[in-house]
Structures are given as structure tokens and as C-alpha cells.
Amino acid sequence: MNYIQEMRQLIGSHTLMTVGCGIILEKDGQILLQHRKDNDVWGIPGGVMEPGETFVEAAIRETWEETGLKAEDLILFGLYSGNEGYAEYQNGDKIFSVQIIFHTEKFSGELIQDALESQEHRFFSRDNLPHLNSHQERFILDWVKNSNLPVVK
């Protein structure tokens, strides 16, 4: 059982504060996005930090689990909080997530297409993005705009 499952047993569907860590993986000016299985949106690989992990460890672990890629030399891209961090899942669970987003162009491994949470991974150019996850749209669009690092919102 992971941390989120343990907390849900205690608080039910009430709002749970989480720390999400993700990585913008860039190759030849394109961003790697994953097509989620649970809804028809695209976003960057990442997920919730487990107790005891560093931000970097969580981002690297989640990216590995979701893509099969080992990310290296992470640079802080941005810190994201505010009302955009609220979400309610189909099962009624509510969260407020603070997002720590990294960037790298250095990664290795074999890109997997079908993973536990995603059905496809693909690189996209800045001017040809798919339907984005609304909770990740702001940092993906900051990447599109070549925002200076790090972005704090």
C-alpha cells in the first residue's frame, strides 16, 4: 500500500495535499508527452512523491515507471501552486497538488508505449500539441513559451 492509499483510508475522499514531481523530457526541441488511460488527455511523466523521497528521486522514479526512460542531469523548471492544483477524480477523491517540475535533455532507455497509467508516449513540437491535461497545461505552455528557468507560479 502506498502513501496515498494509506491516507485515503484515514480521510476518505476529503482533500489531500500532495507533492507532484514531473519531468519535461526534451529531444530535438520536442517534448515527450504521455496519453493517459484514465482520461483522454496528454501530459508529462510524473507523479506523487512518497515519504522520504527527494523531489529529484520522485521525478526520476515516476518517469522511469511510466516511460522506461532514465532521466539524468535534471534542472529545476518550475514550482506550481494555486487554484489550478485542485482536482477531483471520478471516484470522488479530492486533492490539492503542489507541482515541482524539472527539465532535461539527457535520458536513456527504451521508451515503452503501454504502461500502467498511459497508453502511448510521443514527442510533440511546440506548435503541434495534443489535448493537454488541464492540471499540467500551465507548465507545458511555459515550456512552449521558452520561459526562463525556474518559473514560480
Length of the chain: 153
Residue 2 has pLDDT above 90, yes or no: no
> Rounded mean pLDDT of 39-62?
94
Structural domain of 58:
3-152
Q: Give yes or no: 120 in active site.
A: yes
Tens digits of residue pLDDT in 95-150: 999 999 999 999 999 999 877 777 899 999 999 999 999 889 999 999 999 876 66
Tens digits of residue pLDDT in 87-100: 998 899 999 999 99
Q: Which of 50, 105, 120, 137 is catalytic?
A: 120
Number of domains in the chain: 1
Give yes or no for a contact between 36 and 120, defined as CB atoms under 8 angstroms apart.
no
- What CA dihedral angle connects 33, 88, 135 and 100, to 10 degrees? -90
Provide the 3-class DSSP secondary structure of residue 60: helix
pTM: 0.91
